[in-house]
Structure 1
């Protein structure tokens, strides 16, 4: 029997009073894809950082290729043959791809010509081709991740860790990543893929480990376990207990979500004047290319409208224009009959528009501020007494929102940046949905990168907002999610919005797929 690529025995790690990992045993075989599953806060990223030398364990031992392994830094881990692709990329955006790759390969004394030769090899073996002269700042997210993977493969590691790599990718990019994982494993490298998407596990995993609250809750070789067993180990529920939209996103069920969508459509509110209208909207990117071309859509009170599409077809620009952070070159945006095309973001908020941005770290929160400050930064006037801010009142109001939105935090005064991704998204949602005058909510990729429990909660809140009469516009790359959640779905393709497709139609999935490829555009 061959020696495992990685063995973890009784591994433990705590941060103050918080026990992140306890008595964790994991064995990863060479030439396999081993998925590590778990909800946010389960310890997945902590485990990766222990193996990569970012943290040092408090207990247990690690073996790499059968030898004792004690990395005291990422550099030590890389020298031993471990590579890692982090959830948040580490590329220098002002540099070119070549400069980024050479910057991190200094220990290999690599020249530009040598780099080109190695990249040709990687492109042929794994179909990972990158443009060395392209500046990272101009690259979409999927292309940047490809550079990160190439950067890791240049060192020819025996073990590669990928921490939530699909959270920022569209479906086509996920397919390509899965193919890459298989190809890398076929060459003998051990691949550890951290994810919470069971559909991906079913497609690529040779083995899996489920972490729950810092301990191993289940797993094993996929030939001896099932997706249903992994789901129960991860969240303590079966597929039948899940919200049908969540089940659809996970690929666990199809009939239930379609029936739910048809039922929701049949009970949707009667047609009324749109709360949000977009007419002939046009926009250009910084390089002069067309971002939006005569885009049109309408959202009625009480309905959920979706926008599907491969990333880069104008969705991000549309959301930015709706939020007021970017300008259109033509067309109009109307909210409840009021033209807000040129209105400031604050004015849009006052008129009842809420926005959950695609990049919550950049546009939706201030990581260095507290939860309370993030919740009420634009509403501090309501907490003034005799000209002074009532900190106790702010704390009470913030705690009420934390309780209502099930935010897992020790209190309202902790830093926003210390929360998990799911809890950060809940805070952003709480801020937007708690507005007393909310008329329309725009949510861009609201479940991207979230675990099952957080996805379930976010989708429930979106439905609740619609039930209470709010119009909801959801931009997502998760087509099954949109089919089960929305009444109608538009498709963004080359700057235009095609459709809409009625989700009650039994051929809706096929129609959306064709529109995304431009077949019926």
Structure 2
């Protein structure tokens, strides 16, 4: 691996005697006072998977958006197939043969797969039959099977991701950009998607894969580029053999063993919850059931106990009742049936404010909608549940507020120009760290509900966040962790339960040896009965 002050010459250096598909030279982009990218140069080759790595806020999304025509660069140039490339919009990028799959779905839920495929690609009379034929071609070529006439709202999360990818592939792009596409997929679906990346590349298409998952880099990356602070700081022509060095380049240090989320030791003693009476449980959920407005069962008789100091993880593909469970336990949704207690005190139907006062920290899965006020500044958001402590003569004591916020920003590595900058101006990862900082420092903190706490975070931030969660668990805080990242759950939790279509499929120790059974439960397959409670002792 080479760590360097990058030049255009370095960017074009490859071991292949092939011209780059897209050459990027000295690209720069500024948003106000923030220099998002500076002098970025790299070459994207046809027929290879190129992984783009970097911490949150490193400039990965900005670079992808420049390539896809969302923004225009302030400096530098791009050359596509030997000709200057200056996309004015995403439509322009598509016309040049560049397609992008974004992190968040851009599908219309109440339309069919075919109709979503035709959006923006057809004028006049829609030829649905021809489009369905194209989908059959995609199935034969890449193994991406879809029902052309199924409505998006009836598809699983994995199937929706498949639609997004096929929507790009039917255009037969020359360059395919994938921005963290595996976050919502089953382990088997992740393997299938990575295989598609390889097949797409084998047909001569260039593939850019933005990812934080080291296993994905090992499997498919032909080359890798690391961004830090908006600059290219490292390249690798053999990423699978240089994972440790790539991580070091990303975060400017080694991951601390055994605290790495990939292979840690248990730092929290597993609690045998049978020895505690129910009233002393951090969480006792009894028969929680949720039906939506149409009467559809979203959460089915969910029953669980979490002991003080225990980290229990809820695994499953997104859309299988995790959101409803989180909404109930955070006071945002009243269950149709059932109840739950926090340390013996019933909290069913209580408001979020009451839950906070009772010592319940909540990290919701949708930080924008539920965890912050983007129009307020960083300090106000980080102290949102304790602003009353900083009032002086009925007004906010800004100096004290900012001083406390700076301490939390440093402790949780929230990167911003200062506590007074607008919260909406932070990168997604830094927003997430700010929310976690607020909830993990709730006083007193007795129970923590953390839904998708590491979504959008780089490997260094993931390590730090789970270190903080282990620390509060060691103090006796019960933790319910909801995530689609199975490897992380296996690394940090004491026990794993699996939800499928709202139903609790089973429970087992958080052990890598249990991965096949957990994967089967996540896919809705019945296996041997769940681990008996006495076996957890």
TM-score (norm: length of structure 2) = 0.86
Q: Look up the match of 2:5.
A: none
Partner of 1:251: none
Secondary structure in 2 matching 1:438: coil
SS of the counterpart of 1:54? coil
1:265 alignment partner, one of 266, 269, 272: 269
Q: Match of 2:299?
A: 292
Provide the secondary structure at the position in 2 that maps to 1:199. helix
Q: Which residue of 2 aligns with 1:519?
A: 527
Q: Deviations over 1:371-402 (max 9, x none)?
A: 23323444443333333344444333333332
Return the match for 1:456 from 435, 450, 463. Answer: 463
CA shift at 1:214, angstroms? 2.2
Query: Quick check: 181-190 or 132-141, which moved more?
Result: 132-141
- 372, 382, 386: which one aligns with 1:375: 382
Equivalent pairs counted in the alignment come to 508
Q: How far is 1:508 from its partner?
A: 4.1
Q: Which of 260, 266, 287 pairs up with 1:246?
A: 260
Q: CA deviation at 1:335?
A: 1.0
Residues 238-281 of structure 1, C-alpha deviation per residue, up to 9 Å, x if partnerless? 4xx43535351xxxxx5xx3xx12x6436999954212101122
1:124-163 to structure 2, matched below 5 A, reads: 124-137=140-153, 139-163=155-179
Q: 1:86 to 1:514 in 2, by over 3 A?
A: closer
The residue correspondences of 1:25-174 to structure 2 (distance < 5 A) are 25-93=41-109, 95-106=111-122, 111-137=127-153, 139-174=155-190
Partner of 1:336: 343
Give the counterpart of 1:447 among 451, 454, 464.
Answer: 454
Which sections of structure 2, spanning at least 5 residues, go unmatched? 1-16, 530-537
For residue 332 of structure 1, report the CA deviation from its aligned partner: 1.7
Give the 3 Å change call, closer, same or farther, for CA 217–380 of structure 1 in structure 2.
Answer: closer
In 1: Cα distance, 2:87 partner to 2:397 partner:
48
CA contact (8 A) 1:245 1:484 kept: no
Counterpart position of 1:360: 367
Matches within 5 A, 1:298-447: 298-447=305-454
Structure 2 CA distance for aligned equivalents of residues 413 and 138 of structure 1: 44
Structure 1 CA distance for aligned equivalents of residues 304 and 167 of structure 2: 41
CA root-mean-square deviation: 2.8
Q: How far off is 1:202 after superposition?
A: 0.8
Match of 1:191 among 182, 185, 207: 207
User: Aligned with 2:47: secondary structure?
Assistant: coil
Q: Give the distance between the partners of 1:296 and 1:43, measured in 2 at CA.
A: 43
Could you say if the C-alpha distance between residues 184 and 463 of structure 1 is closer, same or farther in structure 2, counting changes exceeding 3 Å?
A: same
Moved more, 404-413 or 490-499: 490-499
Tell me which residue corresponds to 2:12.
Answer: none
Deviation sequence 1:282-318 (CA, Å, 0-9, x none) = 2234553433333221112222122223333322221
TM-score between the two structures when normalised by the length of structure 1: 0.89
Instruction: Name the structure 1 match of 2:535.
Output: none
Q: 1:490 aligns with which of 488, 497, 501?
A: 497
